[in-house]
């Protein structure tokens, strides 16, 4: 199933959108992460569309064909504002779903922490709410096990803070991250799509600036706890955020929320196990 391609206007920039499913269906806004594109939903979206949902996957700010925003703001606060603005621009109702992976998950976690969220359901993949990463007495052992290993996965965050480093080596960085984050997955198609979305140093600087903005006050919305039910999905072979954190997150989840460890999936679980992801989403939103 090929998507419809169109643009919507947000206050700071034009946004390119891929859309699957009936135009009058229940809206699902699906946010991608780093280093990725809206095409990451090309397997899950048709499955949701077959169930009658309208899936709209925007290219996040800085990823072509979306514009580099006029405010050059890449903070979580700006990303959450975009998600809320997309709900209105795409004509979402109170039953709309916000679905996010990686940076899209960080954005979703920020929106579900806001009582004013216009979305009725929220689903995060691969990055749990930051508040969920704190251990309790019951989860101290798995938390320590994950913390010992996590620095070996997170080196790229420090690299992205160095001006000029990641943007001038973006293709090599992206290929390395895909290999280590989803071992065994053939990412050649995804990397080609990524090159089209990040075609030059200016766009590369924009997308790595998400990490640089983490050091500012705009990170605050990401620290909020959910105030509505949340579905969290994590791959059991994730090479970005260690799966040993999953018991910590699962124990923490608020009433009405759910955490699912997806078998045989790395960080890009929506591409590796689309049927399992779509099934979990449909069960949760219905």
**19: Cβ contacts below 8 Å, ≥ 6 apart:** 3, 4, 5, 6, 54, 55, 56, 57
> Each residue of 158-204: pLDDT tens digit?
999 999 999 999 999 999 999 999 999 999 999 999 999 999 999 99
List C-alpha distances in Å: 148 to 29, 159, 188, 208, 250. 35, 20, 31, 25, 19
Q: What is the Cα–Cα distance from 34 to 56, expressed in whole angstroms?
A: 18
Residue 27 region by backbone torsions, left for phi larger than 0, else alpha for psi between -120 and 50, else beta? beta
Residue 14 reports pLDDT greater than 90: yes
Percent of the chain with pLDDT over 90: 91
Per-residue pLDDT at 85: 98
Per-residue pLDDT at 122: 98
Q: What is the Cα–Cα distance from 230 to 259, expressed in whole angstroms?
A: 8
Per-residue pLDDT at 151: 87
CB distance 280 to 92 below 8 Å: no
> Each residue of 20-55: pLDDT tens digit?
999 999 999 999 999 999 999 999 999 999 999 999
Q: What is the Cα–Cα distance from 37 to 57, expressed in whole angstroms?
A: 9
- Cite the beta strand spans of the chain per DSSP E: 4-9, 14-20, 26-31, 53-58, 97-101, 121-125, 230-235, 258-262
Per-residue pLDDT at 189: 98
Per-residue pLDDT at 142: 84
Confidence of residue 2 (pLDDT cuts 50, 70, 90): very high
Q: What is the Cα–Cα distance from 213 to 5, expressed in whole angstroms?
A: 30
Phi and psi at residue 72, in whole multiples of 5°?
50, 35
What domains can be seen in the chain, in order of their start residue? Answer: 4-285 (3.40.50.1820)
CB distance 26 to 183 below 8 Å: no
Taking residues 51-72, what's their average pLDDT?
97
Taking residues 91-111, what's their average pLDDT?
98
**DSSP summary character for residue 142:** H
Q: How many CB atoms lie within 10 A of CB 158?
A: 11
CB distance 82 to 71 below 8 Å: no
The tokens of 209 are what? Answer: 């600036």
Per-residue pLDDT at 150: 86
CB distance 75 to 100 below 8 Å: no
pTM above 0.95, yes or no: yes
Confidence of residue 152 (pLDDT cuts 50, 70, 90): confident
């Amino acid at each position: 199933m090929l998507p419809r391609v169109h643009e919507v206007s947000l206050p700071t920039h034009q946004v390119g959108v891929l859309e699957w499913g009936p135009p009058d269906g229940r809206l699902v806004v699906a946010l991608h992460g780093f280093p990725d594109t809206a095409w990451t939903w090309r397997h899950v979206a048709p499955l949701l569309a077959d169930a009658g949902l309208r899936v709209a996957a925007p290219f996040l700010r800085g990823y072509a064909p979306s514009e580099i925003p006029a405010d050059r703001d890449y903070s979580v606060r700006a990303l959450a504002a975009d998600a809320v603005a997309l709900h209105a621009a795409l004509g979402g109702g109170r039953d709309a779903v916000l679905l996010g992976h990686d940076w899209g998950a960080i954005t979703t976690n920020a929106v579900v922490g806001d009582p004013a969220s216009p979305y009725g359901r929220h689903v995060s993949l691969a990055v749990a709410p930051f508040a969920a990463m704190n251990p309790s007495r019951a989860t101290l052992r798995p938390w320590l096990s994950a913390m010992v290993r996590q620095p070996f996965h997170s080196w790229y965050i420090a690299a992205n803070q160095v001006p000029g480093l990641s943007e001038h080596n973006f293709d090599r960085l992206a290929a390395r991250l895909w290999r280590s984050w989803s071992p065994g997955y053939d990412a050649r198609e995804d990397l080609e799509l990524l090159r089209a979305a990040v075609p030059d140093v200016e766009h590369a600087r924009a997308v790595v600036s998400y990490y640089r903005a983490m050091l500012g006050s705009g990170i605050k919305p990401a620290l909020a706890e959910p105030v509505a039910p949340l579905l969290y999905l994590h791959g059991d072979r994730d090479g970005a955020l260690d799966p040993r954190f999953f018991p910590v997150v699962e124990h923490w989840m608020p009433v009405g929320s759910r955490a699912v460890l997806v078998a045989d999936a790395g960080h890009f679980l929506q591409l590796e196990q689309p049927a399992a992801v779509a099934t979990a989403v449909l069960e949760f939103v219905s």
